[in-house]
Amino acid sequence: MSSLPATGTTTFTNPVLPGFHPDPSVCRVGEDYYLVCSSFEYFPGVPVFHSQDLVHWTQIGNALDRTSQLRLPPDSPSSGGIYAPTLRHHDGRFWLIVTNVSADGNMLFTATDPAGPWSDPIRLPGVPGIDPDLAWDEDGTCWCTVAGVGQVRLDPSTGETLGPCRRIWSGSPGAKAPEAPHLYRMGDHWYLLIAEGGTERCHGVSIARSRTPDGPFEPCPANPILTHRGTDHPIQNTGHADLVQGPDGSWWMVLLGVRPGGGTPGWHALGRETYLVPVEWADGWPVVGELSPTMAAPPWPLRPGATTPARDDFDVSDLAPHWISLRDRPAENCTTKERPGWLTLRARGASPDATDVTFVGRRQQHVSCRVRASIDVGEGRGGLTVRLDEAHHYAVEATSTELVVTARIGPLSTVVASGPVPPGPVILRVEVAAVEEVRDARTGPDTVALGFEDQDGTFRALAALDGKYLTTEVAGGFTGRVLGMFAASGSVHFDWFDYEPAP
């Protein structure tokens, strides 16, 4: 990767990957950093990012972009699919190990270029559980550690396990869900980093060490080395971390966290996001710095990369890597080639309630934002949706004669508002506005307004809905909001799509 021009900035803003980017795993090769995240029911899977400063990240692809790599059956549930990848660089090659909980279990992929292409999967039937990690010792032995915390020796070239999986540590006494293990060799010790306490408000990061990669492991006396449990810190659910060393010898941790908003208990809409925090070492143990929304920059020049474009005019044949769909994306149902300069979606499922709805979206990355799209439904039906899962979404939908706002909240589905299609090109619009004042404990984190634009650009909201019903605290699961386009009947064409943050 070529060097990018540096800036003189001395601080950065957390999260470094805002929006639904959970379970980060990172590795460094020379002066370049690469990071991957979980993708759950979305296709393509496992977004891959590049950075030269750990702060600014550019998506360079998706590791699992073919159905031969990623099988997500039509009936696989939301918050199923792809869990907790680990990315490592070893012996001149990138290695990605991950779990597909909806099909195929644990799998291993390799690439010489992290932007792809990545190999077809090496199946790992002998590796149990989820959250697999890879580490190699000096004699070339590959150790695979999984949530629990169990460990097995692995032949990564074949997927064969060499002996049984054995428990090497159970985490802190009384803490549930020891998971997200990462094993590192540092000096005379092997360090085993885990998340524990569950991925909700009690989430935390703990660590243990051993003279050998398979234990016995001695827990750090200061565990958990990072947690915000029991505090009113604006960043909560902190955990699922990975360590990386900078070229200057400094250490850094990436981890997930959320930003709850509104009243009690606090609702996070964007999902679990990726944060960055410095790490020092004292008496052979890592000491994690204070994690905050504004942080001192690393001691090297910040080099911003390419940002995700606000607008897509669909003028190229392949969709940009930030666009995601549900479970698959058959070319016959999603194409920019049928009508040049337009994205054509051909309906399968009859609404965003359906697991097979034809959908193309992008992650919501700002607590306040605006989404617009120019749509031609012809004789079909489709529109814009704000999606958490099949049972929790809002939509503004167009037919040839009518605009309709719908809301699905758990078992309840209703038409909230409707109106005639305006003259001229139909531009649908959604505005998400974070609350400015918490009126009482029930105040949600934001308001979601859905409607259309007049010819002069004036926003005409047909409905404004409480955003708390599209959050993990209400819906459950592990994902965040995705904003996008769908077809519910016939063929629906989109001339452009625009996403912008709002103040």
Task: Return the active site residues.
Answer: 23, 179
CA torsion 334-410-437-364 (nearest 10°) is -20
- List CB contacts of 333: < 8 A, sequence separation 6 or more: 345, 346, 347, 348, 358, 487
* CA 20, chain centre distance (Å): 4
Residue 429 structure tokens: 């619009």
Short-list 393, 418, 414, CA closest to 404: 418
CA nearest to 226, candidates 257, 248, 250: 257
CA distances from 310 to 16, 111, 248, 352, 362 (A): 18, 30, 35, 24, 11
- Fill in the DSSP letter of residue 214: T
Q: Which amino acid is at 52?
A: Q
**Rounded CA gap, 472 and 497, in Å?**
26
What is the DSSP annotation of 267-299? B-SS-SEEEEEEEEEETTEEEEPPP-SEEEPPS
Interatomic CA distance for residues 90 and 488, integer angstroms: 46
Say if residue 230 is exposed, middle or buried (CB neighbours under 10 Å; 0-12, 13-18, 19+): exposed
CA 19 to CA 480: how far, in whole Å? 7
